[in-house]
Amino acid sequence: MEPERVLGMNRTTLIVADYGKLADQMSGSDSVTSKAAKLELEVAAHAAAAPGQNAARAKAAKSLVDVAKSNRPRLVRAHALRLIGFVGSKADAAAVAGLTKHPEIGQDAKIAIKRIQAAK
Amino acid sequence: MSNPAKSAIGFPTYVPQSAFGANDRIVYGHIGVGGMGSSHIVGDSCAALCDVDATHLANAAKRVQGKPMLTDDYRRVLDRKDIDAVTIGTPDHWHAIMAVHACMAGKDVYSEKPVCKTIEEGLAMVNAARRYKRIMQIGAQGRSNPKVAAAANYLRNGKAGDIKKVVIWHPENLSSGSGFETPSNPPAHMNWDMWLGPIPYRPYTAETVHFNFRWMMDSGAGFIRDRGNHAISCVMLLTGQDAWSSPVTVKATGKTNPNRIYDAPQSLNVTWKFRNPEWTLEWNQPGEANERLEGEWGATYYGTKDDLILTGGDGGADTEPKAIDYVPPTGGFKHEVEPDNVDVTEKHRRNWRKCIKTRELPVSDIGIQYKTIILPIIANIAYMVGRELTFDPKTNRFINDEEANRFLSDPYREPWSLKGY
């Protein structure tokens, strides 16, 4: 399940990744499955953010915002916020702004927003 | 990201004299005193020891005369007006913040490799050293190694012709095996919040601290940035490319161990293609040692007339007899190392101490080492995004890849900032 990060890997498959399903797998108790899902989330998000793929990137960011605002475990939501920092837009930053006061993932939300705001 | 040090990453020869005289004693504070950091302790001239692990502090204190201040907060070390210089031997994610803050506090700095985590951090370190007129030596001590110097003299005087390709071989990261440790409360002797410092929260596990911080991307990012700092520092010295300034293309592929927590790739293959002049650098992990000269890690330099092997490139190194026996011509290139008959790391520290007094740039000055650490940093970014990238060292940005440029800085967890404390 865990993807090897190989140049030119099949982005078509990755771009249609089911972020919610991967987040659920990452939330599970099996550590091997959880880690594989975490890495697949990363690979999918970064593949969607390759130059020239604006629609895929926006869709990925929206899915990640949904994960970040869900009731999944802390580290899953924090991971989604980390990825939002890389692929998200200013609108996505605004969408997670309400999480900055969260006692567990508030710092992760702030880091994501700072990264988006610093982007040129 | 701003580019505050764009004009500061040239290589000025001298900075102004400080208040030191030739016989003045340097008073040290040592920050991060486990592992390699413990080797830098100057027992008879140490005013403060700092570590977030109280066991490290206790062990280090036994080696110091008198009663140094013991703390788990480096800011208290920097506040001490009687301390002239600090050594930094922490995990990677603290290097830049501590080094920049130390410069602001008027301290000279010896910081362990790797230089830093991000491009923004590297630029901030260069800028701080220049702005505050501080000596900043990076612990890439291959540049104080006589064997490395011999290889540099051989190649830089053209004995192998023009170098077209350098191939580094290195074993996989030490992240093999299987099993996920259950997170637990940190031990009472460790300040976990200060261990994390600027990086996002993660729960404590013993398998991700001390030596093993290297296999987590947030705190270490694998051997390519760790030993890679040594290896690539040697490559740039031996090829005469310390001041490389044309865009470089990088591609990287790798794979993590699915059965451990570590997210740094266990195996990693990277190719950088340089322009002006055109040459290629490869990082093969794992890679095969050249059978002419065995070594755990090293590089083969392929020139138009000959090739040469350098194994290692930190405190330990070896090269071939043709380089060891080579005598540079009068007026030719000659890389100088400290002549004292001491081990390589102590030569490196002595070079730093000498430069603290003379205010000359040290042999592994931050300006040189920033240009070195760019290469593993952008390799890890290429691995993360899964595509080939081109980095322009004049703008310190990737060309035509907005997402990749978001990796050039890592926003910190509050309250940490490169701007001060």
For residue B396, what are its two tokens? 């310190």
Which residues does chain A have within 8 Å of residue B412's beta carbon, measured at their own beta carbons?
111
pLDDT of residue A55: 94
Token output for B321: 């007899």
**Number of CB pairs, chain A paired with chain B, less than 8 A apart:** 96
H/E run at residue B177: none
Inter-chain residue contact A5 with B388, CB threshold 8 Å: no
Q: CA B115, CA B368: separation in Å to the nearest integer?
A: 10
Tell me which residue in B252, B386, B402 faces A119 most closely, judged by beta carbons.
B402
Mean pLDDT over B385-394 rounds to 97
Helix ranges restricted to H, B168-223:
192-196
Read off φ and ψ for residue B11, nearest 5 degrees.
Answer: -125, 75
Q: Which residues of A touch B (CB under 8 A)?
A: 1-2, 4-9, 31-32, 35-36, 38-39, 42-43, 46-47, 49-51, 57, 75, 78, 82, 85-87, 107-108, 110-111, 114-116, 118-120
Q: Where are the beta strands (DSSP E) in B104-177?
A: 108-112, 136-139, 163-169
| Cβ atoms within 10 Å of B418's Cβ, excluding its own | 22
Measured between alpha carbons, how far is B10 from A119 in angstroms, rounded to an integer?
A: 26
pLDDT at B109: 98
Q: Where are the alpha helices (DSSP H) in A3-53?
A: 11-15, 19-27, 31-48
Q: Cβ separation of A50 and B409 shorter than 8 Å?
A: no
What is the gyration radius of the CA atoms in chain A, in angstroms?
14
Spatial CA neighbour of B292 closest among B312, B279, B307, B313: B307
- With CA atoms as reference, report the closest residue to B347 among B336, B358, B331, B357: B336
**Cis peptide preceding B198, ω within 30 of 0:** no
Task: In whole angstroms, give the CA distance from residue B259 to residue B140.
Answer: 32
What's the confidence (pLDDT) of residue B228? Answer: 98
Q: How far apart are CA A58 and CA A64, in angstroms?
A: 10
The pLDDT of residue A7: 54
**What pTM did the predictor assign?**
0.94
Q: What is the mean pLDDT of residues B79-105?
A: 98
**How much is the pLDDT for A1?**
42
Helix (H) or strand (E) holding B50: strand B46-50
Tokens (6 digits) for B229 = 């700092």
Average pLDDT over residues B262-277: 97
Model pLDDT, residue B111: 98
B14, pLDDT greater than 80: no
**B138, B366 Cβ separation under 8 angstroms:** yes
Q: Which residues of B touch A37 (CB under 8 A)?
A: none
What interhelical angle do A31-48 and A74-87 show, nearest 10? 20
* Over residues B265-293, mean pLDDT: 96
Please choose, from the candidates A113, A53, A63, the residue with its C-alpha nearest in 3D space to the C-alpha of residue A89.
A113
Q: Which of B258, B403, B409 sits opposite A35 (nearest CB)?
A: B258
Sign of CA dihedral B200, B201, B205, B211: positive
Is pLDDT above 50 for B12? no
Distance CA(B224)–CA(B219), nearest Å, equals: 13
Rounded Cα distance, B53 and B60, in Å = 11
ω into residue B183 within 30 of 0, thus cis? no
Do the bridges between strand B108-112 and strand B267-274 make them parallel or antiparallel, or are there none, so unpaired? Answer: unpaired
Q: How far is CA B97 from the centre of its chain?
A: 14
Which regions of chain A are under pLDDT 70? 1-15
pLDDT band per the 50, 70, 90 thresholds, residue B36: very high
What is residue A114's predicted lDDT score, i.e. its pLDDT? Answer: 98
Mapping DSSP to helix (H, G, I), strand (E, B) and coil, where does residue B183 land?
coil
pLDDT per position as a tens digit, B115-154: 999 999 999 999 999 999 999 999 999 999 999 999 999 9
Specify whether the CB–CB gap between B275 and B268 falls below 8 A: no
Residue B97 structure tokens? 């913040």
Which helix or strand (DSSP H or E) is residue A94 part of?
A: helix A90-96
Residue of B380, B382, B383, B406 whose CA lies nearest to B225: B380
Q: Is the pLDDT of residue B5 over 50?
A: no
Which residues of chain B are within 8 Å of residue A7 when distances are taken between CB atoms?
251-253, 386-388
Partner-chain residue, chosen from A36, A85, A107, that has the shortest CB–CB distance to B258: A36
User: Are A85 and B411 in contact (CB < 8 Å)?
Assistant: yes
Closest CA to B278 of B391, B390, B164: B164
The yes-or-no verdict on residue B306 having pLDDT over 70 is yes
The span from the CA of B129 to the CA of B367, in Å, is 9
Q: Which of B349, B293, B297 is nearest to B324 (CA)?
A: B293
User: In Å, how far is A90's CA from the nearest CA of chain B?
Assistant: 14
Testing the interface with B: which of A1, A2, A4, A5 to mutate, by most B Cβ within 10 A?
A: A5
Q: What is the pLDDT of residue B11?
A: 36
* B137: closest CA of chain A, how far (Å): 30
Q: Which residues of B touch A38 (CB under 8 A)?
A: 263
Q: Which residues of B touch A (CB under 8 A)?
A: 1, 180, 200-203, 251-256, 258-259, 261, 263, 265, 383-388, 400-403, 405-407, 409-414
**Nearest CB neighbour to B386, from listed A47, A75, A118:** A47
Q: For B37, left (φ over 0), alpha (ψ -120 to 50), or beta?
A: alpha
E strands of B54-182, at which residues? 69-71, 85-88, 108-112, 136-139, 163-169
Average predicted confidence (pLDDT) for chain B: 94
**Per-residue pLDDT, B24:** 81
Cβ distance of A7 and B253 shorter than 8 Å:
yes
Q: Are B256 and A4 in contact, with CB atoms under 8 Å apart? A: no
Chain A residues lying within 8 Å of B385, measured CB to CB? 46, 49-50
The whole-angstrom separation of Cα B222 and Cα A118 is 27
Closest-CA distance, A11 to chain B, in angstroms, reads: 10
Chain A partners of B405 at a C-beta cutoff of 8 Å? 119-120
Beta carbons of B386 and A46 less than 8 Å apart: yes
For position A4, what pLDDT does the model report? 59
Contact B215, B174 (CB under 8 A): yes
Instruction: Report CA B388 to chain centroid distance, whole Å.
Output: 24
Tally of CA atoms within 13 A in the half-sphere of B90 that contains its CB: 30
CB-CB contact of B113 with B231 (8 Å)? no
pLDDT score at B9? 39
- pLDDT value of residue A120: 85
Is-contact B259 B399, C-beta < 8 A? no
Cβ-contact B20, B79 below 8 angstroms: no
Identity at B205, one-letter amino acid code:
T
What is the CB-side half-sphere exposure of residue B127 using CA atoms within 13 A? 17
B413·A78 Cβ contact <8 A? no
| Contact between A46 and B384 using a beta-carbon 8 Å cutoff | yes
Question: Would you call A5 and B401 a contact, using CB atoms and an 8 Å cutoff?
Answer: no
Contact present, B196 and B202 (Cβ < 8 Å): yes
Q: B340-361, pLDDT tens digit by residue?
A: 999 999 999 999 999 999 999 9
Contact (CB<8Å) A6/B407: no
In whole angstroms, how large is the CA radius of gyration of chain B? Answer: 21
Spell out which residues of chain B touch residue A57, defining contact as CB-CB under 8 Å. Answer: 403
- Rounded to the nearest angstrom, the gap between the alpha carbon of residue A87 and the centroid of all alpha carbons in its chain is 8
Coil vs helix vs strand at B300: strand
Chain B CB contacts of A47 under 8 Å are: 386
